[in-house]
Structure formats: C-alpha cells, structure tokens
Amino acid sequence: MATLKAVRGTRDLLPPETALWNRIEATARDVFARYNFGEIRTPIIEDTSLFSRSVGEETDIVSKEMFTWQDRGRLRSDHAQSLTLRPENTAGVVRAYVEHKLGDAGQLQKFYYIGPQFRRERPMKGRYRQFSQIGAEVIGPPHAGSESPLRDAEVLEMLATLLDELGINGWTLELNSVGSAADRARYNETLRQALIPVAPKMCEDCQRRAVTNPLRVLDCKVPEDQPIIDTLPKIADSLDDDSKSHFAAVTAALDAAGVPYTRNHRLVRGLDYYTRTTFEFTHGGLGAQNALLGGGRYDGLSEAIGGPKAPGIGFAMGEDRLVLTLQALEAAKPEKADAYIAPLGETVNAAALALARELRRGGLTVELGDGSFRLKKSFDAADRTARRIIIMGEDEVASGILTVKDFSTGIQTKVPRAELAGVLKTPGGK
C-alpha cells in the first residue's frame, strides 16, 4: 500500500522548531497586549462571497487560489452554499465586526488574530497552501477616529517594535498610498493609456493585465519589463489632496517616532479592498519570497460586505516566513533542558522520578533517563538534550548529595539535594 503523506503544500511542524513558533506567538501576544489589542478568533470556513466581495473577483487569491466547494448540508431541503477555507483573515474580522454590530459601541475596535490560512499556490520555500498569519486590525466608525493617519502610524510603529522584539534585524518598511477608490480608478485609466504603446513589448502576463487590470502590471517581476515599468506614471500623481495630506501626516508621525521607511511607488498590493496607506515589511534573508508582512487601510471594506461605514487599517504577517528569517539569522538555537537525571540502576528509577517531579514543579526543564542505561549511554543522551547531568546512584539516594556535571565547563560538583534547584537555575552553559 502506498504510504500516506501530508497533502501538497502542507507540512508537519515538529519540535524543536515548534518552540520557535511558540516564542513568536508569545512575543506577538505580549506586544499586542501592550498596544491594547484583544484577540479575535473567526471561523476557518466562510461563505465564498465574503472573499469575492472584499478581496475582489479579479485578484489572484479569488480567481485562482481559493479552496472552495459546494456544501449542501445534511437535508435535501438545505440549499447549496458555496464555502471557502479562508485565504486571509481581514475579511472574516470585518464580517464579525458587522455581524455583531461592534460599530454601535462608537469606539475603535482593536483586534489581533493568529491562525491558519489556505491558498492553492505553487508550493516553494516560504510559500505553502496552508500557512499561518499573525495579524491585527483597527476599525471603527469615522467619529471614533478610525480614519486618522495617526492610526496608520501607530500600527506601523507597533510592527517595527514587534519585529525588533522578535530579533528580526535588518527589515525594511516599504510604504505607499493607493489613494481613494476614485483615485485608483483614475490611475488605472491613466495607466491603461500609458500602456497602449509599450504593452506589446512586455511579458504575456503584462499584455493581459494592461487590458484587464493595469494596476497589476506594477507587480511584474520579469527583468526585461522593469525599465518599461519605471517609465510609467506614478500613482502619487493621481492622488487627490485629501489622500496626499493623509499620507503626509502618516510619514510625519513615523519620522517623529523614528521609524525608518522607504517610499515604493510600485507597492499597490494584490487585494482590491486597500485604500490610501499600503505597506510591506521585507527581509533580504528570505530570497524571492521576501515579504514578511503586508497591510494597509481598507476604508470601504465594511460597506462592500453590507456593513456600516467603518474605515480601518491592518496587516497580516506570514508566520512561516518569520520562522524562516529567524532560522537564517541563527537567532533560533533550540533551548536545552536544564538537567538530565541519570539513575544508576533500575532500583533508583523510582527515586529519580521523585527528584524529577520536585525539580519540574520548581519550574525547571528536566529529562529523565533510565536505570537500565549504561553510564556512557546516559552521558551521550544528556549531552545532546541538557546543559547538565545529575548522577543518581544508591549512594546519592542515601546521602542526599548528588553529582552534577556541567557540560559547558566540564566541571563536576557534589550538590546537596536542598541546593540542587538553586544550582540548576544559575546560568550554566548552553
């Protein structure tokens, strides 16, 4: 029989790597708490039309990447409903905001989420069909200040802090404004005109985009097309005065806070719901899939799914890519246990379990060997998994004095049982 494997584009996360995932999530939760965000958990399954109405029919995500099926329920009378595994989480958060009438509170709502997303993409390093995003959203009625550029700057400053606290050195913040829906429509038309003479010289994808969705030409990665794209009009020149001053206020606040950024005129993002501020944080260590996270403002999203006016701003970080970056930075050495207890003989096994229990309850991470092992085998196992080995024979049980060897210094000492926890807590070798 053929052996079963994880489905294409999905994978198992195993220890010790999962410790890194947990550390990233703990740091994110801690930072979000300090900025007064609360956690939201929305369903993984949503009505397909949620995504077609928000992310947009013409986007890569909706047109070709979603896992969608017709669900007819259990009864013949249940009418078929098109369901989708969420490809992103902003739409679900805004749906929940609308469904629970959270705008009625008259205040800004600040949410964060951590969870799996699904896109049928061609799998490669940093690109999977099931991946995890950590994201946050600030949304509310306009009178609560949800349109203020200060909210954009605060979210960007929070991201800079989070990446720094995660130990992701060397990130770059790329920033742009795609303006209002009217600005974007105007720009699309300008681009369409500008592309007429040059499109025949461009790649096939661009020739198609030049007609269907000119904005997407700016995403093209084909090297030969780059000099042509550089000559195209910039969206900055199609922004109205409100969009321009909004963007200027965002950058002024970032300057005041000392958050570095670069303006990227080509950053238009692949989801239709974005308005005004758009951004990406990238990292050189990631190679081709270099975007750590993306986000922006979505002032019309709530209305697009039938809700009240509720401008907002948010982002989604690719957790898989955070892990890859930290691994590449070697900031991710697996932690070793504080101690390995080696019972000398099976008669000491029970006493060794009692000692392990005492130390573990005291907050230490302890590996427990087995009395049937030869001492050499215990030493090898201990050296791989722990910083120190505690040797426990019948003499040690009787005297209450244990032999402890620290692998980093090679020093072996005798430690009374009452002092053991204290000794193990002092920083030893790695």
CA atoms within a 13 Å half-sphere pointing along the CA-CB vector of 76: 0
Amino acid at 189: E
Q: Which of 320, 338, 367, 406 touches ligand ATP by CB under 6 A? A: 320
Amino acid at 87: P
Q: Which of 97, 111, 131, 261 touches ligand ATP by CB under 6 A? A: 131
- Pick from 9, 63, 71, 18: which is nearest to 327 by CA? 18
Q: Which of 318, 343, 393, 428 touches ligand ATP by CB under 6 A? A: 318
| CB of residue 97 to ligand ATP, shortest distance in Å | 19
| CB of residue 174 to ligand ATP, shortest distance in Å | 11
> Which 267-286 residues touch ligand ATP, going by CB under 6 A?
270
Q: Taking CA 391 as the corner, what is the angle to CA 390 and CA 392, rounded to the nearest 5 degrees?
A: 115
User: What residues contact residue 238 under an 8 Å CB cut-off, 6+ apart?
Assistant: 179, 183, 184, 186, 187, 190
Q: Does 137 bind ligand ATP (CB under 6 A)?
A: no
Q: Does 115 bind ligand ATP (CB under 6 A)?
A: no
Q: Binding-site residue total for ligand ATP (CB under 6 A)?
A: 18
Q: What is the DSSP string of 242-309?
A: HHHHHHHHHHHHHHHHT---EE-TT---S-TT-EEEEEEEEEGGGTTS-EEEEEEE-TTHHHHTT---
Q: Which of 53, 95, 110, 119 touches ligand ATP by CB under 6 A? A: 119
Stretch that binds ligand ATP, among 120-128, 142-150, 154-162, 353-361 (CB under 6 A): 120-128
Where b means 16+ CB within 10 Å and e means fewer, 276-302 reads: bbbbbbbbebbeeebebbbbbbbbbbb
Joined tokens for residue 288: 């081709």
| CB of residue 12 to ligand ATP, shortest distance in Å | 16
| CB of residue 244 to ligand ATP, shortest distance in Å | 24
**Closer Cβ to ligand ATP, 10 or 190, answer by number:** 10
> What are the beta bridge partners of residue 113?
135
**Closer Cβ to ligand ATP, 110 or 216, answer by number:** 216
> Which 67-96 residues touch ligand ATP, going by CB under 6 A?
88
**Closer Cβ to ligand ATP, 326 or 355, answer by number:** 326
Stretch that binds ligand ATP, among 43-51, 67-75, 252-260, 312-320 (CB under 6 A): 312-320
**Whole-angstrom distance, CA of residue 96 vs CA of residue 55:** 16
**Whole-angstrom distance, CA of residue 73 vs CA of residue 81:** 8
Q: Which of 134, 220, 305, 316 touches ligand ATP by CB under 6 A? A: 316
Element (H, E) at 367: strand 366-368
What is the three-class DSSP state of 222?
A: coil
**Closer Cβ to ligand ATP, 27 or 349, answer by number:** 27
Question: Which residue minimizes CB distance to ligand ATP?
Answer: 318
**Closer Cβ to ligand ATP, 316 or 332, answer by number:** 316
Q: Which of 120, 127, 192, 208 touches ligand ATP by CB under 6 A? A: 127
**Closer Cβ to ligand ATP, 58 or 419, answer by number:** 58
What is the three-class DSSP state of 225?
A: helix
Q: Which of 246, 321, 387, 388 touches ligand ATP by CB under 6 A? A: 321
**Closer Cβ to ligand ATP, 128 or 247, answer by number:** 128
- Pick from 339, 401, 342: which is nearest to 372 by CA? 342
**Closer Cβ to ligand ATP, 271 or 356, answer by number:** 271
Q: Are 8 and 150 in contact (CB under 8 A)?
A: no
20 to each of 132, 357, 367, 383, how far by Cα in Å?
Answer: 14, 26, 20, 21
**Closer Cβ to ligand ATP, 244 or 265, answer by number:** 265
Q: Footprint of ligand ATP on this chain (CB under 6 A)?
A: 88, 119, 121, 126-128, 131, 133, 270, 289, 291-294, 316, 318, 320-321
